[in-house]
């Protein structure tokens, strides 16, 4: 008797550059391999790779079912320059790198290709090779609803969105305040807007959208994109909430060990973790005010220090993991000495998820990137919301007003930065005030909800099973 061996489905994932896009797709790849018996080819754009990206794909812990396929680096010197904005740089890097995609897909032979927000140029190549295409939406379901509405907005609104007198009424979900709009739609004349519109207009071309969120976090937006008549009219693909996909654990290096030794000696929920993600940077003036505010608050803190930039809030985006700096050259004189024992200053890049998961972590002063927001909530940690760029203002408002787990500091009229007194106020509020306790309880509820969603039989687990069954039927 011949026993037939089960043929495992083979899919390929193609993230755009940037750790905020690579990390959740890589976690998804690991889950597909370990939980669903799917083989994965993870296609990596190596042009402009950061040190953190290189380190990730050199890890010895990559599951055996994942094959890393490096797309050879391309010369970008004649395509981008020092004035090219982040999204344009990402999209141009993708455009040049994907000239090699056809030959790679022919060799790899996947049945399914999963693109992300900014690798949609791959759709046509995949279709020509009879490969099914899905999109992994790395941001919130709220931004997904806005993105599916953007082509209509682009046709119907004349002039700039920032000049509108009322919030934008996104079908079926909460209106978006003009001041919260993501950077890429604030000036319709520049390439950033054209690139964003280009990619969001192509969401309707895929067979399904994998959304890195879960039912209890964004019920209104998820219900809208699945049921509201507008999204049916524009033929939006099926949406599968599969989150929160975050790093489940991180390797702790000898260099990082001192952080956890220090945390082990602090009381539960007593430490404010201050970090601005993989790309965020503050101006010199704002960093000075932040340091003074932390000192004045007299609360315990870990500050991930990074060279300030007066030119761009995303200055570290392409250099994450490679920025070596001396905080004494840009933090207030004597700050480290005065806060010794109460605060811990670390350089540039830390195991964020592991810190948020430590029992001493009581709140997270965050730029509100979607991955960082999910990591914070998945560990039951409330957020002091400090948005810097991209869609982070939209996320901050969602977390504060829609979810109830965050507080935003206020910039006083006539000021360009958040002052030290305001920083002291909101730090004390979230660390020791009654409002902070309410937010912490709400964050704990969402932690339990996230755990349930991802567990066998949970809403996100079932979504992955549903789409995995579709892919298995293609074998």
Active-site amino acid positions: 21, 116
DSSP assigned state of 159: S
H, E, C per residue of 266-317:
CCCCCEEEEECCCCCCCCHHHHHHHHHHHHHHCCEEEEEECCCCCCCCCCCC
- Minimal CA–CA distance to 373: which of 270, 446, 455? 446
d(CA 369, CA 279): 10
Q: Which residues pair with 114 in a beta bridge?
A: 13, 134
Cβ-based neighbours of 356, under 8 Å, separated by 6 or more:
273, 364, 375, 376, 379, 381
DSSP 319: S
Determine the Cα–Cα distance for residues 298 and 295; give it in Å rounded to an integer. 6
Helices (H), 159-278: 191-201, 219-227, 229-233, 254-264
Q: Which of 93, 98, 123 is nearest to 203 (CA)?
A: 123
Q: Say which residue the tokens 């790779």 belong to.
A: 49
């Amino acid at each position: 008797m011949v026993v037939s061996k089960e043929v495992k489905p083979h899919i390929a994932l193609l993230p755009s550059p940037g750790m905020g896009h690579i990390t959740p797709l890589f976690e998804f790849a690991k889950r597909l391999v370990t939980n669903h018996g799917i083989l994965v080819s993870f296609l990596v754009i190596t042009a402009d790779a950061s040190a953190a990206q290189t380190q990730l794909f050199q890890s010895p812990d990559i599951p055996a079912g994942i094959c890393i396929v490096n797309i050879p680096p391309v010369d970008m010197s004649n395509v981008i320059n020092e004035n090219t904005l982040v999204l344009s740089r990402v999209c141009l890097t993708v455009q040049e790198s994907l000239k090699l995609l056809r030959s790679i897909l022919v060799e790899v032979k996947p049945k399914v290709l999963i693109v992300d927000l900014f690798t949609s140029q791959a759709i046509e190549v995949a279709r020509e090779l009879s490969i099914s295409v899905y999109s992994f939406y790395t941001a919130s379901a709220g931004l997904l609803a806005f993105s599916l509405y953007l082509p209509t907005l682009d046709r119907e609104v004349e002039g700039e969105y920032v000049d509108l007198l009322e919030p934008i009424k996104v079908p079926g979900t909460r209106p978006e305040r003009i001041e919260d709009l993501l950077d890429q739609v604030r000036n319709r004349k520049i390439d950033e807007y054209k690139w964003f519109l280009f990619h969001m207009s192509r969401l309707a071309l895929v067979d399904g959208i994998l959304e890195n969120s879960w039912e209890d976090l964004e019920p209104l937006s998820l219900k809208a994109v699945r049921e509201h008549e507008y999204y049916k009219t524009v033929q939006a693909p099926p949406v599968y909430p599969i989150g929160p996909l975050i790093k489940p654990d991180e390797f702790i290096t000898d260099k990082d060990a001192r952080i956890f030794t220090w945390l082990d000696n602090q009381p539960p929920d007593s430490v404010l973790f201050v970090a601005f993600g993989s790309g965020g940077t503050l101006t010199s003036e704002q960093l000075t005010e932040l340091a003074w505010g932390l000192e004045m608050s007299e609360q315990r803190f870990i500050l991930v220090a990074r060279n300030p930039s007066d030119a761009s809030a995303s200055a570290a985006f392409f250099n994450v993991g490679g920025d070596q700096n001396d905080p004494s050259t840009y933090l207030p004189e004597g700050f480290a000495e005065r806060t010794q024992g109460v605060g811990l200053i670390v350089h540039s890049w830390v195991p964020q998820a592991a810190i948020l998961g430590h029992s001493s972590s009581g709140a997270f002063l965050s730029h509100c990137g979607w991955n960082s927001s999910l990591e914070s909530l998945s560990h039951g940690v409330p957020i002091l919301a400090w948005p810097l760029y991209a869609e982070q203002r939209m996320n901050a408002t969602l977390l504060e007003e829609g979810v109830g787990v965050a507080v935003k500091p206020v910039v006083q009229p006539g000021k360009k930065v958040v002052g030290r007194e305001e920083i002291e106020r909101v730090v004390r509020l979230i660390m020791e005030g009654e409002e902070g306790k309410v937010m912490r309880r709400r964050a704990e509820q969402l932690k339990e909800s996230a755990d349930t969603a991802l567990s066998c039989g949970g809403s996100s687990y079932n979504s992955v099973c549903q789409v995995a069954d579709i892919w298995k039927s293609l074998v």
